[in-house]
Amino acid sequence: MSNTTNNKRRKFIKSSTLIATGSVMAPLFGNTTDQLNTEVDPFKDDGRIIGHGDFKYRIDKQWGTQNLNKYPVMDCHEMVQDKAGRLLLLTNHPKNNMIIYDRSGKVLDTWTLGLKGAHGLTISNEGGEEFLYIATTSDHKVFKTDLEGKIIMELDYPKETGKYESAEKYHPTETAIGPNGDIYIADGYGLDYIIQYNSKGEYIRFWGGKGDGRDNFDCCHGITLDERDKANPCLLITSRSKQEFKRFSLDGNHLETITLPGCWICRPVIKGDYLFFAVLVTKTWGAYDGCIAVLDKDHKVISFPGADTPVYQNGILTAPQYDDLSFLNPHDVCIDDDGNIYVPQWMSGRTYPYKLERI
């Protein structure tokens, strides 16, 4: 792609999207332009090979594409796979919060809770039955549902912490479920606290908050349970605006901070021994410059699908350079049992998820 095309592309994006540099309101409520960048074909270079080392993929940008009138979406925020192999996509379109695909890209079912701020999606196997936890930013709640969308539990704003004057201060972005069923909620677009409940929804504790300390966060956008060390499970929590993620014990004690320069990472996703991130932004809001990161058990990046080869200098990661072709604000990853990755995207002109076929 020529420099002239690149300049036109970025100029158009800057003027036509609602992403505002330095603004928290755009990522908070997921406002999406209905107008896709007409100067850039979102399916350009479909079928290319991206990634590095043992983690290379053929990108299929049309895998999930549907008729917008029949299956409307705004932002495609997150995606999980159930034990039947179905792929469940969470969107913030109030008429269509959930789209359920098979692995071929065929839509099997849809349902909605009428949510405009549906953002975080976690699946949990509880006694052989699977449940979903949906964090919604503009509704200031977390919902537990079955796979058909029946609401089992609602968790309101955490007034027990003494930190919230009202529900309007609370904008949860993600959840994680502990080995004993405890529920951890990341208030990523609110006050940056992690709130812990038991499986019945009874308040236990909170920690974090916005700040620069090792126990603090700056946009704790994503959280997940890490059980790769079976004897010592922990929580991985992103501090997206700081371009880092942190390890915490299950009772909220800081264990480690891992910095990924140039990576505004959304949520951690673990598959086997490896950790995957959607990197929403590598340089600046207002341009499509995200990628995917694959990390080994030592938290070292070994592949950057959509960017250049990972490089470490004196043990420090060099900020990735986006390939300017692959993604439009990747927001999440879902990895199937064959190692294929499905990528929902935010603020992408209402595109549907891409598929990265493992090769």
Q: What is the pLDDT of residues 1-35, one digit of tens each?
A: 444 434 434 443 333 333 322 333 334 433 333 33
Residue owning tokens 């039947």: 84
* Cα→Cα distances 342→87, 151, 202, 228, Å: 9, 26, 34, 22
**How confident is the model at residue 39, as a pLDDT?**
52
**How confident is the model at residue 283, as a pLDDT?**
87
Residue 159 φ/ψ, nearest 5 degrees: -65, -20
**How confident is the model at residue 40, as a pLDDT?**
55
Torsion (CA) 326, 28, 284, 343 in degrees, nearest 10: -10
Q: For all residues of the chain together, what is the average pLDDT?
A: 90
Residue 225: count of CB within 10 angstroms of its CB = 19
DSSP string, 129-159: EEEEEEEETTTTEEEEE-TT--EEEEE---G
For residue 75, which amino acid is it? D
Least confident of 119-128, 150-159, 284-293: 284-293
Question: For 318-355, what is each residue's pLDDT tens digit?
Answer: 999 999 899 999 999 999 999 999 999 999 999 999 99
Cα four-point dihedral sign 65, 70, 76, 79:
negative
CA–CA gap between residue 351 and residue 330 (Å, rounded) = 11
Q: Bridge-partner residues for 15, per DSSP?
A: none
Give the residue-averaged pLDDT of 118-141. 97
DSSP SS3 for 323? coil
Question: For 161-217, what is each residue's pLDDT tens digit?
Answer: 999 999 999 999 999 999 999 999 999 999 999 999 999 999 999 999 999 999 999
**How confident is the model at residue 183, as a pLDDT?**
99
**How confident is the model at residue 18, as a pLDDT?**
35
Number of domains in the chain: 1
Q: Are 120 and 175 in contact (CB under 8 A)?
A: yes
Which residue range(s) make up the domain with 171? 3-358
Share of the chain above pLDDT 90, in %: 85
Cα four-point dihedral sign 202, 250, 244, 176:
negative
DSSP string, 179-221: TTS-EEEE-TTTT-EEEEE-TTS-EEEEEE-BSSSTT-BS---
**Which CATH number covers residue 159?**
2.120.10.30
Radius of gyration (C-alpha) of the chain in whole angstroms: 19
**How confident is the model at residue 45, as a pLDDT?**
76
pLDDT score of 131 more than 60: yes
* Cα→Cα distances 118→17, 134, 167, 354, Å: 20, 7, 16, 20
Reported as a pLDDT band with limits 50, 70 and 90, residue 43 is: confident
Reported as a pLDDT band with limits 50, 70 and 90, residue 41 is: low
Reported as a pLDDT band with limits 50, 70 and 90, residue 46 is: confident
Question: For 219-257, what is each residue's pLDDT tens digit?
Answer: 999 999 999 999 999 999 999 999 999 999 999 999 999
Residue owning tokens 């896709």: 36
